[in-house]
Amino acid sequence: MRNTPLTVLGAGLVLLGAVGSARAQEQVETTTGKAAARQPTFTNVTDAMLKGARSERKNWITYGRDYTNQRWSPLTQINTSNVSRLQVTWMYQTGISRLGSFETSPIVVDGVMYLTTPYNTAMAVDARTGRQIWRYEHKPSIASPIYCCGPNNRGVAISGGMVYMGTLDARLVALDAKTGQVVWDVEVADPEAGYSETMAPLVIDSMVVIGISGAEYGIRGFVRAYNARDGKQIWNFYTLPDKGWEGQFATHTNEGDDLKRDIPAEKAAMTQYGDAWQRGGGSVWMTPAYDPETHMLYFAVGNPSPDLDGTVRPGDNLYTESIVAIDARTGEYKWHYQEVPHDVWDLDATSPPVIVRLKNGKKAVVEAGKTAYVYVLDAETGKLIRRSEEFNRHENYFTQPTAEGARMLPGANGGSEWSPTAVNPNLGYMYVLGLEQPMHYITHSAPLEKGKLWLGSAFKAIPGERQYGTFTAIDLNTGKHAWQVETEQPMIGGALATAGNLVFTGEGNGHFNAYDARTGKRLWTFQAGAGCNAPPVTYELDGKQYIAVACGGNFQLGYPLGDAVLVFALPGAARASTK
């Protein structure tokens, strides 16, 4: 990246937009010449469409497919009886010059797929053929944006003919959905203070809602809403309150685990560090869930800052490591549930919360923690309904870090990392990706592995100890495992569940897999040649169901990098067979 003055940046964006526009025009003309019926339509996504995404079958128009974040599709053309015949239909290679973890979750609207890459390139692609329609390459406003855990981007939001992307230099960019031209571009926070954006935004009632990352650099986290039309800020919610940040000095978690805290020492440190909320972290890494009936917005708040040194941030460090509910119309606080008070193990709440309806009719918010438990919370009050069985092992849980290194499971990556879960509402199962990584927690400041994990923190995978992954179906009505499979490497990326009784997920070794959602039996696999460490999606076009996934590896875990989006379908699938 080069240091680009703002004036040059502005001119560059206009030029890029013009090029994008020309390309789009060229694409449309070419496609028109071949088959008018197959031309991308560039549908304007409305608020009503976003609210109705649950019942709409064909598209994938928001990060979690609909506001519940369930990543559940009603499509059934690909199902347990035929998935073994699934094959690649097309592949799109982004052609970016610098690789990183490829974590995008595609958005698909009426034949157009919107993607993002590491370092903030966004593109529109013909979802039938993989042909690129336009491409936008974001030029950062500072020479070297500061970000934790790789130059990632997890996708866009779309609404009203615009595509919204957060950027590593902490900006929110609105692009014309037809051309890729910049419509507006605002700074969400100061990138030179360590703020950055990697999450996919969420559009609600013509507002673009976005959280912030940077808790590895002493930021104060927040969630903000912007006017989708012009980028003007509407409301702000700080994830660290200026009053009551210290909480109740909890000695145990809400579920009764001893946190082994030195409460007198923390209280004594309040005199010196009572203002630590100003730099206390609290990133919001992933896209919130939203309930249009109640206007409640649910999101997960990550680690306090500094990650492991709790001596300089006494108290419970609210609302870090919490699920938080606010009113999406105003940003007003409603409730929170803290998974780990005063965390010194980097056990973030990162995986996106999911709204479900339990068998007893109660609406719940569910989140898979790095703690290796799934939390099922009352959506109205935030009270714990149940905590699941562990989906990864616990050893020396909440042991305090030492100078020599204290061994603990789960390690700092989880449990569940940022990976979105999926839910099959018919079965009541949630599908969770897990990591088994025993780690040493060390009290002095140091990065884990130079060049691999840039957290500036002292946790380290234990050499010689076996690491592996888990993929677990958890019955949300009981908290018990329905099934669990082990994978050879820790799992990161995300899941997709379909009404074909399938659940899809990928591995770092390049395997992209389909499992029977009821039993966990692997029914199909494809070797992609790079880690499939992104959430899959599905959509239907011309009566044909497709499965799409980005397979570009993961930089943190050392999985092979690449830049391909793969799209699968059944050979010769009949039109309208899913009706």
DSSP state of 293: T
555 counts as binding another protein under rule CB under 8 A:
no
Shorter beta-carbon distance to another protein: residue 28 or 312: 312
Specify the residue, 110 or 309, whose C-beta has the smaller distance to another protein. 309
Per CB under 8 A, does 279 bind another protein?
yes
Asked if 307 is an active-site residue, the reply is no
CA-CA distances (angstroms) from residue 71 to 193, 381, 497, 523, 567? Answer: 34, 24, 6, 20, 17
- Residue 127 contacts residue 176 (beta carbons within 8 Å): no
Question: Which range binds another protein by CB under 8 A, 337-345, 416-424, 449-457, 486-494?
Answer: 449-457
487 vs 501: CA distance, rounded Å: 21
Choosing from 346, 348, 475, 563, the catalytic residue is 346
Q: Which of 488, 487, 464, 483 is nearest to 473 (CA)?
A: 483
User: Which amino acid, residue 358?
Assistant: L
Name which of 180 and 214 has its Cβ closer to another protein.
214
- Asked if 270 is part of the footprint of another protein (rule: CB under 8 A), the reply reads no
Query: What is the dihedral angle through the alpha carbons of 484, 348, 120, 167, rounded to the nearest 10 degrees?
Result: 150
Which residues in the 102-161 window bind another protein by CB under 8 A? 141-144, 146
Q: For another protein, which is the closer residue by CB, 312 or 564?
A: 312
Q: Does 262 bind another protein (CB under 8 A)?
A: no
Residues whose CB is less than 8 angstroms from the CB of residue 5 and which lie 6 or more positions away in sequence, other chains included: none
Centre a 10 Å sphere on the Cβ of residue 132 and count the other Cβ atoms it contains.
18
The stretch among 26-34, 210-218, 369-377, 483-491 that binds another protein (CB under 8 A) is 210-218
Q: How far is the CB of 211 from another protein (least distance, A)?
A: 19
Answer yes or no whether residue 444 interacts with another protein by CB under 8 A. Answer: yes
Among 12, 161, 241, 456, binds another protein (CB under 8 A): 456
Nearer to another protein, 124 or 308 (CB): 308
- Using CB under 8 A as the binding rule, whether residue 445 contacts another protein is answered as yes
The DSSP line for 32-96 is: HHH-GGGS-------HHHHHTTTT--S-B-STTSSTT---EE---SS-TTTGGG-EEEEEEE---
- Residue closer to another protein by CB (options 217, 373) is 217
| Gap between the Cα atoms of 260 and 110, Å rounded | 54
Smallest gap from Cβ 306 to another protein, in A, equals 7
Q: Give the nearer residue to another protein in terms of CB position, either 193 or 234.
A: 193
Site string for another protein, 281-310 (x = CB under 8 A): ------------------------xx--x-
Sole window of 255-263, 282-290, 356-364, 440-448 interacting with another protein (rule: CB under 8 A): 440-448
Q: Whole-angstrom Cα distance, residue 152 to residue 104?
A: 8
| 550 and 106 Cβ atoms separated by less than 8 Å | yes
Q: Which is nearer to another protein, 65 or 220 (CB)?
A: 220
- Pick 74 or 282: Cβ nearer another protein: 282
Give the shortest CB-264-to-another protein separation in angstroms.
19
* 271 belongs to the binding site for another protein (CB under 8 A): no
Order of strands across the sheet with 522-527?
72-73, 495-498, 502-506, 511-516, 522-527
What span, in angstroms and rounded, lies between the C-alpha atoms of 382 and 74? 29
Name the minimum Å distance from CB 309 to another protein: 7
Measuring CA to CA, which residue among 334, 364, 370 is closest to residue 349? Answer: 370
CB of 355 to another protein, least distance (A): 35
Residue 422 φ then ψ, to 5°: -130, 155
Give residues with Cβ within 8 angstroms of 376, minimum separation 6. Answer: 358, 364, 365, 366, 384, 385, 386, 387, 388, 476, 479
Environment class of residue 353 by beta-carbon count within 10 Å: exposed (0-12), middle (13-18) or buried (19+)? buried
User: How many chain residues touch another protein (CB under 8 A)?
Assistant: 31
Q: How far is the CB of 398 from another protein (least distance, A)?
A: 22
Please tell me the distance from the alpha carbon of residue 363 to that of residue 316, in angstroms, as a whole number: 28
**72-73 and 495-498 strand pairing:** parallel
Rule CB under 8 A: say whether 454 interacts with another protein. yes
Does 216 help bind another protein (rule: CB under 8 A)?
yes
Site map (CB under 8 A) of another protein, residues 217-236, x = contact: xxx-----------------
* Residue 454 C-beta: closest distance to another protein, Å: 8
The residues in 458-487 that bind another protein, with binding defined as CB under 8 A, are none
Among 447, 543, 558, 560, binds another protein (CB under 8 A): 447
With b meaning 16 or more CB within 10 Å and e meaning fewer, what string describes 73-85?
Answer: bbbbbbbbeebee
- The CB-side HSE value for 351 (13 A sphere, CA atoms) comes to 39
What is the SS3 assignment for 402?
strand
* Residue 351 beta carbon to another protein: minimum distance, rounded to whole angstroms: 25
Binding mask 171-190 for another protein (x = CB under 8 A): -------------------x
The residue among 117, 137, 243 whose CA lies nearest residue 180 is: 137
Task: List all residues 6 or more positions away from 150 whose beta carbon is below 8 Å from its beta carbon.
Answer: 100, 101, 118, 454, 554, 555, 556
Q: How far is the CB of 157 from another protein (least distance, A)?
A: 28
Of 49, 250, 358, 446, the one binding another protein (CB under 8 A) is 446
Minimal distance, residue 245 CB to another protein, in Å = 16
CB of 269 to another protein, least distance (A): 11
* CB closer to another protein out of 259 and 453: 453
Between CA 137 and CA 94 the distance in angstroms is: 11
Binding mask 484-513 for another protein (x = CB under 8 A): ------------------------------
Judged by beta carbon, residue 27 or residue 283, the one nearer another protein is 283
Residues catalogued as catalytic? 346
Q: Which chain residues interact with another protein by CB under 8 A?
A: 1, 3, 5-6, 141-144, 146, 190, 192-194, 216-219, 272, 279, 305-306, 309, 311-312, 444-447, 450, 454, 456
